[in-house]
Amino acid sequence: MSPAPPDDAVRVGVLAIQGDVAEHLRSIAAAGGRPSRIRRPADLNDIDGLILPGGESTTIGMLGGEAGLLSAIRLRVAEGLPVWGTCAGLILLAQDVGQAQPLIGGLDVTVARNAFGRQVDSFEVDLDVAGLTDGPFRAVFIRAPVVCRAGPAVEVLARLNDGTIVAVRQGLMLGTSFHPELTGDHRLHTLFLRMVAAQRSASRQSRA
């Protein structure tokens, strides 16, 4: 069991429609954050950052759209809410996925869905991720997307050996093709919590 977070811990929500919600909640707590489930637009008012989990992007997009969550998230991200999309979440953040489906958008990338094939083609690989210390990150790919195009404002954080882009950052938006929540390595969650804490501090200073 993770220790209780400090009173000033950043509050990170996980979009709780479908997918790896519980795994992200545990990883946030292990990294020192205060996790919560986001099921309706009003829940977004109580968080400092948001994770869009892996799962089925079409289902998450459809149900999120019907609940008014996609438009509410889009507005909060435009206002400066840090957001991290993993696997299906990366698809939801992308500007272009090559087909019509509900998206949040904002991340200037083109993404190819299911780029590695079916579930039986899942794999793990050690990745060097910019911003992480203490060696490679063991990345789990399950029906994963890849970034086919990254805009000029997008920083590439990790590539496979063949050059395929699998992790990116654009300002307060982070995207990974793989599933960090399925490992015991919480370094990427810690990195995101630092992003969230820095933005919360900047927002408080601007209001002071």
* pLDDT of 9: 92
Candidates 23, 87, 186, 189; catalytic one: 87
State pLDDT tens for residues 2-16. Answer: 566 777 899 999 999
181 is catalytic: yes
Q: How far apart are CA 121 and CA 157, in angstroms?
A: 24
Fold designation for 11-207: Rossmann fold (3.40.50)
Residue 147: which of 98, 198, 184 has the closest Cα? 98
148 is catalytic: no
24 is catalytic: no
State pLDDT tens for residues 66-93. Answer: 999 999 999 999 999 999 999 999 999 9
Alpha-carbon separation of residue 58 from 21, 156, 176, 195 (angstroms): 16, 25, 18, 28
Candidates 56, 66, 148, 181; catalytic one: 181
* pLDDT of 116: 78
In sequence order, the 6+-apart residues with CB closer than 8 A to the CB of 75 are: none
State pLDDT tens for residues 142-167. Answer: 999 999 999 999 999 999 999 999 99
Which residue's structure tokens are 């309706």? 40
Candidates 24, 179, 186, 189; catalytic one: 179
Helix spans in the chain (H): 21-30, 57-66, 69-78, 88-93, 187-207
Coil, strand or helix at 78: helix
Ranges of each domain in the chain: 11-207
